[in-house]
Amino acid sequence: MNRLARWARAEWGLLCVTVREPLRRRGLPAVPMTVSGVGLTAFLQYVQNQPWGYQLVQNLGAVRAEDPLWLALLRTPLSLFVPALDLPVWGALAQILLVFGIAELCLGWWRTLTIAYVATLAGTLYARLGITLGPHAPFGLPWTDAQVVDTGPSAAVVGLAVFVSWRYGAYATAGAVTAAMVVEVLLKENLAGKEHLAALMAVGLLCLLVALRHRYGSGPRRTRRHRWSARRAGHGSGLPPVQS
């Protein structure tokens, strides 16, 4: 149990400290973008389930690979917050509250939205490429997927989870999320699973760019890591003791 506790501190210690402090001081007001995203998702779920609102939400936030590219690009930002009709809405709300919330506390609201958009956009653009390649190519898709409505926060959530885990040294967590997405595609080869892999590739590129920037310059990640190492060496982890 002590070994597991030490591993957990090494894996999530910096992340826990970063998230815990602003939440303890301010509560939910510390994550205004996340709270707004949860509220927007719940509102869009209500609207699209009304006879008068379904087509409105489709016109504003539903993305299909068969749509003109300019229209898909316009709809993609809102599509993050349009729950998929074939999935329970509480899943989307929980994903946004947990993953977007942690990311907002760690990265700030605008970086969180940027990474979420990059991940979602990567999935959207991949769908067009996959359909062009056709169903027999390794990364191809059947033409019927061009008509699939592509909405929801899942690609953004996957991308944010991996980026934040990597940024704060939770490398095993980042690897576990990536492995889970690969297994998802192997077990159930569908549009959503392959879009998640495209999102991971885009976020992986972002991680590489950030790593290069900090390697050849003095960035905040290096300073934060050194502070955390000093804190652990001098005064302990700063986390509450783990009961064995």
- Let me know if residue 127 belongs to a domain: yes
Q: Mean pLDDT for the chain?
A: 87
- Let me know if residue 171 belongs to a domain: yes
CA–CA separation, 45 vs 88, rounded Å? 10
- Let me know if residue 180 belongs to a domain: yes
Which of residues 92 and 2 earns the better pLDDT score? 92
- Let me know if residue 203 belongs to a domain: yes
Burial tier of 208 (Cβ tally within 10 Å: 0-12, 13-18, 19+): exposed
CB 203 within 8 A of CB 163: yes
CA–CA separation, 87 vs 90, rounded Å? 9
CA–CA separation, 155 vs 132, rounded Å? 21
pLDDT at residue 239 greater than cutoff 90:
no
3-state DSSP percent of the chain in helix, strand and coil, to 5: 75, 0, 25
Say how many domains are in the chain.
Answer: 1
The average pLDDT across 10-17 equals: 91
pLDDT of residue 3: 85
- Let me know if residue 242 belongs to a domain: no
Helix (H) or strand (E) segment spanning residue 211: helix 191-215
- Let me know if residue 61 belongs to a domain: yes
What would the two tokens of residue 201 be? 């590739």
Diameter of the chain by CA atoms? 62
pLDDT single digits (tens) 14-32? 999 999 989 999 988 999 9
CB 132 within 8 A of CB 217: no
pLDDT single digits (tens) 62-84? 999 999 999 999 999 999 999 98
The CB density around residue 26, as the number of other CB atoms within 10 Å, is 11
- Let me know if residue 243 belongs to a domain: no
pLDDT single digits (tens) 23-63? 999 988 999 999 999 999 999 999 999 999 999 999 999 99
CA–CA separation, 197 vs 143, rounded Å? 19
CB 5 within 8 A of CB 242: yes
pLDDT at residue 241 greater than cutoff 70:
no
Range of the domain at 210: 2-235
pLDDT single digits (tens) 176-235? 999 999 999 988 888 899 999 999 999 999 999 999 988 887 544 444 554 454 444 444
- Let me know if residue 26 belongs to a domain: yes
